[in-house]
Structure 1
Amino acid sequence: MTRSLRLIPLLVVLVALTGCGGGDEATHTDEVAMTLPPLLDRELFFGDPEISGAQLSPDGTLMSFMKPYNGARNIWVKAADEPFAAARPVTADERPVPGYFWSRDSRYLLYVQDKGGDENFHVWAVDPAAAPEPDKGVPPCRDLTPVDGVRAQIYSVPKANPDVILVGMNDRDPSFHDIYRVHIPTGERVLLRENDEGVGAWVFDNEGELRLAYRQMPGGGGEILRVDLQGLVQIASWTFEEEFNPVGFHPDRTRCFVSTNRGDADLEQLMLMDVETGACELVEKDPLDEVDFGGAVFHPETDELLATVYVGDRARVYPQNEEDAKFWSSLKQAL
């Protein structure tokens, strides 16, 4: 007799036992089930929101947001004073659009997208005022970094030239990104700097000037380097156990906001770093001393720090001046 045949009587007994005396247990189970709250659909927790990422164009005339179109998250646009029902899609990507922003002159929407999840993100531009293509129902989208197998990074959107963005592309060396200036209307691309120094990321100031570089160190930490005529000069470093991330430049352009937990700090704090010396001074840490520094809001024209953000159980916003505190208070009351 094979082993499987010898198991048959045992299975029969087990089935019989599970069916005996189960009436009371079944009744009890039903009663418990009736007292439990209803199950919530997983989509409520993990699905995409119906509408997300709302933004006003810099000139204030248009509102954009992300919403599903043809089964994927895409960008929609409407006039600022129109109802949401009047919105129209301006992208028809098969993969969800991860994020987007407006060009400074409000002419274009810029976003990144890869192919089939290969993580080789390209920079795309779409003119929301252009006529929709008949086969897609959206305006034509243009790839501003059309090189196969290359991953592009957006570094800066200079104020002085709204037609230009500064991007990094690893088309020459897959490990590192060279810097290019891209003309949005035409897609013309000009090489500005080859990355022969092993730089992992470049940091530009508010006027689009290259100021800092980030480079990983052999021990697992990193360093910030000042970019000047003499080359790259280290002004800050940290260990693999620490974080040090540029957040944005101060309006005076001689200092840069950074988020860091270097030294004895347990949580990341917002600090101001002198770009010449690397010296840092504390700006703010979590008033509740619970979480890392979560983000900053800057004025789009003056670059003034307007608010800081910390995210725990809920997001907490801390306005940095009296005027914005009044605005934020009135906004919360309206919501």
Structure 2
Amino acid sequence: MKFWIGLFFSTLILLGCQQHKADLIPINQFFSTPEKSSFKISPNGRFIAYIGLDNHCKNIYLLDLLHQDSSKQLTYQNDINVKSFAWNNDSKISFLTEQSSQDSLRLYAVDINTERIWPLIKPVRGKFRWVHSVLTEGNSFVAGINDRDSSFFDLYRIYLDDRPRELILQNPGNMSSWIVSNDGQVRLAVANDSVQQSVLYRTSDKDPFKEIIRCDVESSFTPLGFKDSSRTIIYALSNVDRDKLALVSYDLANNKELGEIFSHKEVDVSPGGYFSEQNKLLFVNYTTSRQNRFFFDKSIKKKYDQLSKQIDGFEFQVLNTDITGERVIIKTYTDINPGGIYFYDFSTQKLTKLADNNSDLKDKELSPNEYITYTARDGVQISGYLTYPVHSNRKDLPMIVLPHDGPNGREIWGFDHEAQFLANRGYLVFQMNYRGSTGYGKKFWTAGFKEWGGKIQDDITDGVKWLIKEGIADRDRIAIVGKGFGGYSALHAACFNSDLYKCAVSYSGYTNLFTYFRDIPPYFKSYVQKMYQIVGNPIREAELFKNISPVFHSDKVRIPVLLVQGGKDRFSSVTDANQFVQKLKNNHIPVQYILKEDEDRTFKKDENVFGYYNELERFLAKYLVD
């Protein structure tokens, strides 16, 4: 009751301030969890399985595309959620239940015809990774489990009959991912050894792996999968000996690149358009101001153009396909509409809606993303997006600076629930791709190495000052809000740029980079040396870490801070967060602290998510609204 009363009064506050003319949308409509998710089509294209809610628990449901009346619920978990699932063949699905507080791994299978459910492995303490879910030899599939050593995953053959799991590849300690050919053999592996990445290949399960490519920390070679029925030719994304990630074909047997298939001069080519169900490459994606596709076959392009016409005005992402590629599940969206999930049959050109991504928002008046570029102080071009409040005059607006998490990753055009929520509350939202963001090539990414607290933060600051100079942002009403690295950026700004912002909000932000490295989970340990290159070495460069960790500079904070933390967050220490908050209190700086002991880095429970955004709304209104 207190939560809804608070929400009611905070809404009244904003209405009284007359920040904008758009109707205020309740918080829960922006951030509610979809009732249906994880739609996946069966190999033969007849069935679609998805995760839905039954008495507040996630279970698997089945749609029969030929006989709609035969659609049904497959699982009946009533005290624990189905976490994920995969089709093994046209009639069998394996699924994983959410790990409990005891970290117990439980894997089951269900027959969609008989509805029989049976366990596939004995419960173990560990984590699970899908590797190749399609059944191959001996009625089995390949998966990773880390119960032998939590630092890495071994590969097992999981049988759908009563046979126990079979170890097929014991991880030497450096393998991070694998690609299985369509006959079920593990022929490719990616290993991380210190700061270098290696791609390993073997001709069959009986042969040892041999290294075919070794990349330093700046380069990348990512196998997508095998080409058609070949066991030696693969598609890969590579920036070896080039700046931008390009699509290439590679001959594993002769250890040589066969040539560049597609590249873009401004941005990296991104994964997408390769479907392991068919070992087919239909198209590639690349993102400039918007997402684009390049098709390799005119007939395929024509088919997808016909699909585009049926969802006129919407962008789409292909989630999965059947074995023929004739039936697909897609996710649609725009920057002002969260869109939906659809089934499309290319042979009949029939488009069927399966679910709305967020039915509460699809007809609301929301704000477009506008692509921008600006020049940082050293001449580097930075891109980003502005989301204006609806019906705003676009001058002297209160602004929320929203740096993305990562810093690996990037902002792209599309629907952003958080940006839309803030714009609906009357704020201009500024999101930028500072140096160190991915997608713009090797040079731009590596320009962010060891620039936490340095040029990355300068890129954010320079964008804010540019918007002030242009008269778009009101210099006296600017806040910085972020999660993870974005939260770190908010805390850093509070310490070193208090004169630029009125307040700062950190959600799971890093307060102490020494403990950030100390508390990295075991299964990320193979990346630690690489992170030393990107961030710095906390032992050899202790002075740098002390200079850029907010916990050591709390005495410089002069603005109010809202700090939000999950008690189970393994990347951001609760102890450091508590210490930072206490120092601000000792210095009489207004600080609000939200700690949810049962949450991880990202809050999952609706009441905690809604509670955070309710407090965020009130906090921003208190310090930014005239």
TM-score normalized with structure 1 length: 0.73
Q: Residue in 2 aligned with 1:77?
A: 62
> Residues 225 and 232 of structure 1 are in contact (CA less than 8 Å); yes or no, is this contact kept in structure 2?
yes
Which residue, out of 186, 189, 201, partners 1:213? 189
Write the distance in 2 (CA, Å) between the matches of 1:173 and 1:311.
39
> Residues 86 and 133 of structure 2 are in contact (CA less than 8 Å); yes or no, is this contact kept in structure 1?
no
Q: Residue in 1 aligned with 2:122?
A: 146
1:149 CA drift (Å): 1.1
Where 1:328 maps in the other structure, the secondary structure is helix
1:197 CA drift (Å): 6.0
Where 1:262 maps in the other structure, the secondary structure is coil
The number of equivalent residue pairs is 294
> Residues 69 and 89 of structure 1 are in contact (CA less than 8 Å); yes or no, is this contact kept in structure 2?
no
- Find out whether 1:254 has 2:232 as its counterpart: yes
Where 2:91 maps in the other structure, the secondary structure is coil
1:42 CA drift (Å): 3.9
Where 1:203 maps in the other structure, the secondary structure is strand
Write the distance in 1 (CA, Å) between the matches of 2:22 and 2:86.
42
- Find out whether 1:166 has 2:142 as its counterpart: yes
- How has the CA–CA distance of structure 1 residues 127 and 306 changed in structure 2, closer, same or farther, with 3 Å as cutoff? same
* Higher RCO (C-alpha 8 Å, min separation 6): 2
Matched AA of 1:262: V
- How has the CA–CA distance of structure 1 residues 65 and 114 changed in structure 2, closer, same or farther, with 3 Å as cutoff? closer
- Find out whether 1:298 has 2:275 as its counterpart: yes
Q: How does 1:50-65 map to 2 (within 5 A)?
A: 50-65=35-50
> Residues 269 and 286 of structure 2 are in contact (CA less than 8 Å); yes or no, is this contact kept in structure 1?
yes
> Residues 103 and 162 of structure 1 are in contact (CA less than 8 Å); yes or no, is this contact kept in structure 2?
no
- Find out whether 1:237 has 2:214 as its counterpart: yes
- Find out whether 1:68 has 2:53 as its counterpart: yes
Structure showing the higher helix proportion among its residues? 2
1:74-130: CA deviation from partner (whole Å, max 9, x where unpaired): 3210211345x87432234556545432113x1111233441377765543222223
Write the distance in 1 (CA, Å) between the matches of 2:215 and 2:101.
32
Write the distance in 1 (CA, Å) between the matches of 2:263 and 2:80.
38
> Residues 168 and 179 of structure 1 are in contact (CA less than 8 Å); yes or no, is this contact kept in structure 2?
yes
- Find out whether 1:224 has 2:199 as its counterpart: yes
Matched AA of 2:60: I
Write the distance in 1 (CA, Å) between the matches of 2:113 and 2:302.
36
Matched AA of 1:37: A
TM-score normalized with structure 2 length: 0.42
Matched AA of 1:69: D
> Residues 246 and 268 of structure 2 are in contact (CA less than 8 Å); yes or no, is this contact kept in structure 1?
no
1:260 CA drift (Å): 3.2
Larger Rg: 1
Matched AA of 1:65: Y
Write the distance in 2 (CA, Å) between the matches of 1:241 and 1:51.
40
- How has the CA–CA distance of structure 1 residues 168 and 250 changed in structure 2, closer, same or farther, with 3 Å as cutoff? same
> Residues 74 and 91 of structure 1 are in contact (CA less than 8 Å); yes or no, is this contact kept in structure 2?
yes
1:186-222: CA deviation from partner (whole Å, max 9, x where unpaired): 353223333346433333222212212222112x231
Which residue, out of 25, 33, 58, partners 1:40? 25
Q: Residue in 2 aligned with 1:22?
A: none
1:227-285: CA deviation from partner (whole Å, max 9, x where unpaired): 3566332111222233332211112221222223334324x332222213442332223
- Find out whether 1:129 has 2:106 as its counterpart: no
What is the CA RMSD across the aligned residues, in angstroms?
Answer: 3.4
Write the distance in 2 (CA, Å) between the matches of 1:299 and 1:212.
14
- How has the CA–CA distance of structure 1 residues 255 and 44 changed in structure 2, closer, same or farther, with 3 Å as cutoff? farther
Where 2:144 maps in the other structure, the secondary structure is strand
1:157 CA drift (Å): 4.1
1:310 CA drift (Å): 4.1
Q: Residue in 2 aligned with 1:285?
A: 263
1:224 CA drift (Å): 1.0
Write the distance in 2 (CA, Å) between the matches of 1:118 and 1:257.
40
Where 1:327 maps in the other structure, the secondary structure is helix
Write the distance in 1 (CA, Å) between the matches of 2:209 and 2:37.
40
> Residues 135 and 141 of structure 2 are in contact (CA less than 8 Å); yes or no, is this contact kept in structure 1?
no
> Residues 296 and 309 of structure 1 are in contact (CA less than 8 Å); yes or no, is this contact kept in structure 2?
yes
1:223 CA drift (Å): 0.8
- How has the CA–CA distance of structure 1 residues 148 and 296 changed in structure 2, closer, same or farther, with 3 Å as cutoff? same
Where 1:333 maps in the other structure, the secondary structure is helix
> Residues 283 and 295 of structure 2 are in contact (CA less than 8 Å); yes or no, is this contact kept in structure 1?
yes
Where 2:190 maps in the other structure, the secondary structure is strand
Q: Which runs of no fewer than 5 residues in structure 1 stay unpaired?
A: 1-28, 132-138
Where 2:270 maps in the other structure, the secondary structure is coil
Which residue, out of 87, 91, 103, partners 2:75? 91
Write the distance in 2 (CA, Å) between the matches of 1:50 and 1:196.
41
1:330 CA drift (Å): 1.8
Aligned-residue sequence identity (percent) comes to: 20
Matched AA of 1:273: Y
Write the distance in 1 (CA, Å) between the matches of 2:173 and 2:253.
20
Q: Which runs of no fewer than 5 residues in structure 2 stay unpaired?
A: 1-13, 312-626
- How has the CA–CA distance of structure 1 residues 89 and 230 changed in structure 2, closer, same or farther, with 3 Å as cutoff? closer
> Residues 120 and 150 of structure 1 are in contact (CA less than 8 Å); yes or no, is this contact kept in structure 2?
yes
> Residues 213 and 224 of structure 1 are in contact (CA less than 8 Å); yes or no, is this contact kept in structure 2?
yes
Write the distance in 2 (CA, Å) between the matches of 1:119 and 1:243.
33
1:142-188: CA deviation from partner (whole Å, max 9, x where unpaired): 34232421223332246654821022333333333333222213353
Matched AA of 1:227: R
